[in-house]
Amino acid sequence: MNLTVTEEAAKWYKDELDIEEEGHLRFYVRYGGVGGLQPGFSLAISLSEPVDPIAQTDTGTIHFFIEADDEWYFDGHSLLVELDEKWKEPSFEYQNKTP
């Protein structure tokens, strides 16, 4: 799987979470929420150090990652995080499964 975070989305996270310098931001699975890939689950975020990442990318000064224990949620899909211009917040696009 691949993880892509646009510059605009990274800036939003940096501003909203007051990340002053370099930081680590994890996307992880939580129970509940709306609009997730798996019914009854959605993505959440935390500022934490990576342990066993399966996907990661550096955008700006932030290291974004997804841990191996959340791989089941993505079911082979890649994740694109963009800034939704209408709502002025990040949006998640689950892209085609990797072959």
Residue 98's pLDDT is 59
Q: 3-97 is classed in which CATH architecture?
A: Sandwich (2.60)
Residue 20's pLDDT is 86
Domain boundaries, the chain: 3-97
6 pLDDT above the threshold of 90: yes
33 pLDDT above the threshold of 90: no
Mean pLDDT of 35-59: 94
- 29: CB partners within 8 A, 6+ apart: 38, 41, 42, 43, 44, 70, 72, 73
- The reported pTM is 0.93
Mean pLDDT of 59-72: 97
36 pLDDT above the threshold of 90: no
Residue 99's pLDDT is 59
